Amino acid sequence: MPYYRCVVPKDSVPYEQRAEVAKAFTDIHCGNTGAPRSFVHVVFDEADDRWETPYFLDGGNRAGRSEEVKAELLSDLMGAFREITGVASEDFSGRITEGPAKWTMEGGMVLPEPGEETEEWYSHGQAAAGG
Amino acid sequence: MSRVSFDCTMQEGQIGEELRAKLAVALQEITQDVLGESPDDVPVRFSDIPRGFGFRGGEPSTTSLVRGSIVGGVTQDVREDFMRRICDRWMEISGCTVDELVVSARDA
């Protein structure tokens, strides 16, 4: 976690843009939450899911952050996606759902709740990013 | 309806069919050992993320995600034991590192 799934029409977002969006999402998530970069997952899915718009951001995060942080995060992510891909506002929507951190194990460690991150967890995240 | 199920998402080309079969059996065995569910009642689905479509930390990803949906009401100790066993067996069978695996066990 976090896991950001971008549902996009087939062949609509070339690799260069996907890579740029992935980097931007990582920067934004880490900038807003302080999470290690290696924990940010971004996936593009040319699925036939039926959403309200042709492009959809389906994010999943650890529960426990303030409404203000969550709203800013979603707004920043969606803004970056639109800027990089050129997708119009009316064609793109999104949401971030949340689940308890303790339900997920990553890097062999149960995820800490937001605000309860330890030095060990940060260190592991940095090592994973560099390795 | 199954009380436990798994959705496993891997990066394309990383884990072949033979290993997937072994991984599915391992997940079913662990579920039986920890949660007492019959292996026949534990569906395991696999899907691939095409090359160039999965990223981690802003770079191309080599990470697999194992998403378990389990019966509610288990203690955190049981949940952690369940996830840790899955981590250990998945790494053993697939050869991936601990940093290439995310395991979750969500209440159904």
pLDDT mean values, one per 10 residues, chain A (131 residues): 94 98 96 89 89 93 89 96 97 94 93 83 66 37
Mutate to test the interface with A, among B53, B66, B82 (most CBs of A within 10 A): B53
Cα gap A34→A50, rounded to integer Å: 33
CA B44/CA B2 separation, integer angstroms: 11
Note whether B105 contacts A42, CB cutoff 8 Å.
no
Per-residue model confidence (pLDDT) at position A130:
47
Tokens found for residue B54 = 């999965």
Please, is A96 exposed, middle or buried when counting C-beta atoms within 10 Å of its C-beta (0-12, 13-18, 19+)? middle
Stated as kind and residue range, the H or E segment containing B34 is: helix B17-35
pLDDT of residue A28: 96
Residues of A in contact with B55 (CB under 8 A): 18-19, 22-23, 26, 41-43
CA distances from B58 to A24, A123, B6, B52, B93 (A): 8, 18, 26, 12, 27
| Cα distance between residue A4 and residue A1, in whole Å | 9
User: B99–A43: do the CB atoms touch at under 8 Å?
Assistant: no
Q: How many whole angstroms separate alpha carbon A73 and alpha carbon A28?
A: 7
Digit-by-digit pLDDT tens for chain B (108 residues) are 678 999 999 999 999 999 999 999 999 999 999 999 999 999 999 999 999 999 999 999 999 999 999 987 899 999 999 999 999 999 999 999 999 999 999 998
Structure tokens at A95: 């949401």
- Residues in CB range of B74: below 8 A, 6 or more apart: B35, B82
DSSP readout, A97-120?
EEE-GGGEEETTEEPPPTT---HH
Tokens (6 digits) for A107:
């890097």
